[in-house]
């Protein structure tokens, strides 16, 4: 029976991701406005409720060609992007990682995606993702010590306590590192460089990834961010009309004025880059980073 299902499991995992992505869209849209996730049901922008068959992740978007059935107003492409992205990340977790890292990874990816898009829209990251993520990271570490430990002792309680300590250290180092970075940048630039939401997000990243992972997320994320922003700005300078509209949905209630065009000195949310760094670490660089850092340790102790 299992042999029959096995070849289709990746498809199932991708679809699971798309459904979770669909729910994340609701979270991203409603949580910053402090509306309930349970009800009312999803409505079109014209006010009509959306039927279940027009609300199937990914598929409905294709069938309706991105336009609402009722009033033909275009759906934000962003909804499709979030569903597809969640599906792809879930699939990558499944294909690349051990079972524990795959399942925990899916939870972690969901937190990162929600944080990213809320930060893009509102320049805030709600506590239920940052502090909630931190608590969840510690709890999951206690339940699945293999998250942090390569070799288990065999005594569950011992491993569990060990993993929780690793997770707590990660949360502490992660948030501490970015706090210092923010303080230094503020002193140098003489303006607010980072929000406290980023500090708390780094706490969550550390709780899931350990201190090595939060190190990678911060510096890897900052490098990716600098590269991508520099490319976009270069493109704008060359006259390309690049805009963040594809990934950003204009919120009905803007908390801060966030321009679609990037300019020098304009505030760019930092959370998405941290999330990108964390996702890259979890999916591709965990083993490599651990080996690299332990090789440094060997050099120093010799």
Q: For residue 20, what are the contacts with CB-CB under 8 A and spacing of at least 6?
A: 86, 90, 106, 110
DSSP assignment of 42-71 equals -B-TTSPBPPGGG--TTHHHHHTTTB-TTT
| Residue closer to Zn ion, measured from CB, 44 or 131 | 44
The site for Zn ion, by CB under 5 A, has a size of 5
Instruction: Please identify which residue in 9, 71, 189, 240 interacts with Zn ion, judged by CB under 5 A.
Output: 71
> Do residues 109 and 86 touch, judged by C-beta distance below 8 A?
yes
Q: Between 23 and 62, how does the x/- string for binding to Zn ion read (CB under 5 A)?
A: ---------------------x-x----------------
Tokens of 224: 């990716």
Q: Give the residue among 132, 265, 290, 270 at the shortest CA–CA distance from 209.
A: 290
Smallest gap from residue 48 Cβ to Zn ion (A)? 5
- Which residue's entry shows tokens 């660089």? 285
| Site membership for Zn ion, residue 95 (CB under 5 A) | no
> Of 67 and 128, which has the nearer Cβ to Zn ion?
67
- Answer yes or no whether residue 100 interacts with Zn ion by CB under 5 A: no
Q: Which stretch binds Zn ion (CB under 5 A): 56-64, 67-75, 209-217, 239-247?
A: 67-75
- Among residues 70, 165, 193, 280, the one that binds Zn ion under rule CB under 5 A: 70
The stretch among 4-12, 65-73, 126-134, 236-244 that binds Zn ion (CB under 5 A) is: 65-73
Of 74 and 235, the one with the shorter C-beta distance to Zn ion is 74
CB of 67 to Zn ion, least distance (A): 9
Cα–Cα distances (Å) from 93 to 81, 104, 224, 292, in that order, read 18, 9, 21, 22
CB of 162 to Zn ion, least distance (A): 54
Q: Would you say 72 or 241 has its CB closer to Zn ion? A: 72
User: Terminus-to-terminus CA distance in the chain, angstroms?
Assistant: 54
Minimum CB distance to Zn ion smaller for 45 or for 254 = 45
Find where tokens 């990271």 sit: 137
Q: Report the nearest approach of Zn ion to the CB of residue 50 (Å).
A: 8
Q: How far is C-alpha 209 from the geometric centre of its chain's CA atoms? A: 13
Q: Label residues 207-246 b or e (16+ Cβ within 10 Å = b).
A: bbbbbbbbbbbbebbbeebeeeeeebbeeeeeeeebeeee
By CB under 5 A, residue 68 contacts Zn ion: yes
Q: Per CB under 5 A, which of residues 223..282 are in contact with Zn ion?
A: none
3-state secondary structure of 74: strand
Smallest distance from the beta carbon of 85 to Zn ion, in angstroms?
Answer: 25
Complex with Zn ion: residue 48 or 128, whichever CB lies closer: 48
- Minimum gap (Å) between residue 17 Cβ and Zn ion: 27
The torsion region of residue 26 among left (phi > 0), alpha (psi -120 to 50) and beta comes to: alpha
Residue 24 Cα distances to 170, 236, 269, angstroms: 26, 31, 19
- Of 47 and 265, which has the nearer Cβ to Zn ion? 47
Point out which residues bind Zn ion (CB under 5 A): 44, 46, 68, 70-71
């Amino acid at each position: 029976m299992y042999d029959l299902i096995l070849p289709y499991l990746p498809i199932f995992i991708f679809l699971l991701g798309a459904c979770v992505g669909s729910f994340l869209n609701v979270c991203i849209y409603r949580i910053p406005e402090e509306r309930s996730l349970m009800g009312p049901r999803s409505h079109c922008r014209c006010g009509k409720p959306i039927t279940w068959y027009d609300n199937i992740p990914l598929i409905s978007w294709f069938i309706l060609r991105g336009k609402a059935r009722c009033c033909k107003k275009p759906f934000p492409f962003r909804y499709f992007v979030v569903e597809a992205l969640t599906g792809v990340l879930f699939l990558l977790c499944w294909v690349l990682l051990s079972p524990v890292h795959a399942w925990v990874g899916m939870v972690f990816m969901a937190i990162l995606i929600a944080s990213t898009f809320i930060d893009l829209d509102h320049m805030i990251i709600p506590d239920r993702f940052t502090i909630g993520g931190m608590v969840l990271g510690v709890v999951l570490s206690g339940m699945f010590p293999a998250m942090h430990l390569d070799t288990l002792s065999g005594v569950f309680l011992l491993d569990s306590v060990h993993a929780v300590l690793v997770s707590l250290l990660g949360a502490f180092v992660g948030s501490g590192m970015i706090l210092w970075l923010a303080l230094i940048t503020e002193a140098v630039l003489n303006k607010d460089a980072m929000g406290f939401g980023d500090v708390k997000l780094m706490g969550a990243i550390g709780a899931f990834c350990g201190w090595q992972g939060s190190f990678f997320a911060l510096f890897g994320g900052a490098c990716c961010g600098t590269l991508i922003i520099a490319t976009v700005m270069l493109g704008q300078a060359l006259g390309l009309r690049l805009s963040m509209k594809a990934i950003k949905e204009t919120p009905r209630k803007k908390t801060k004025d966030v321009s679609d065009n990037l300019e020098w000195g304009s505030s760019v949310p930092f959370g998405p880059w941290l999330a990108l760094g964390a996702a890259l670490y979890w999916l591709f660089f965990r083993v490599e980073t651990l080996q690299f850092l332990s090789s440094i340790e060997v050099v120093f102790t010799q």
